[in-house]
Amino acid sequence: MTGINASKIIHTLQFVNNFASMFAPCLLSISPASAALASSGRALQSVGFASPDDVSIQAAIEANDAFIAQLEAIRDRAQTLTIE
């Protein structure tokens, strides 16, 4: 783990875990757009943002989308390596 800040990795994993655990129940009860808004607001609250505003919630949704895209890229690279 040379050059990697372990505490940042742990914090990111905790954020993702909190986000995922909050998002899953919403899938059954509300629309995807409403679920994303509610989950992002709760995710921001889980890191100490007491009252997230709409702009911050939208930024959290975009950050999550970018994070998911990065995870997919990691997966794709790993699959390419195992195929070759």
Question: Residue holding tokens 């709409």?
Answer: 54
Residue 1 has pLDDT above 50, yes or no: no
* pLDDT tens figures, 19-52: 666 655 554 555 666 777 788 889 899 999 999 9
What values do phi and psi take at 5, rounded to 5? -85, 105
Q: Is 68 left (phi over 0), alpha (psi -120 to 50) or beta?
A: alpha
Average pLDDT over residues 51-63: 92
Higher pLDDT, 28 or 56: 56
pTM: 0.56
* pLDDT for 19: 64
Question: What residue spans define the domains of the chain?
Answer: 6-83
* pLDDT for 49: 94
Average pLDDT over residues 49-65: 92
Exposed / middle / buried, residue 59 (Cβ in 10 Å: 0-12, 13-18, 19+): middle
* pLDDT for 50: 93
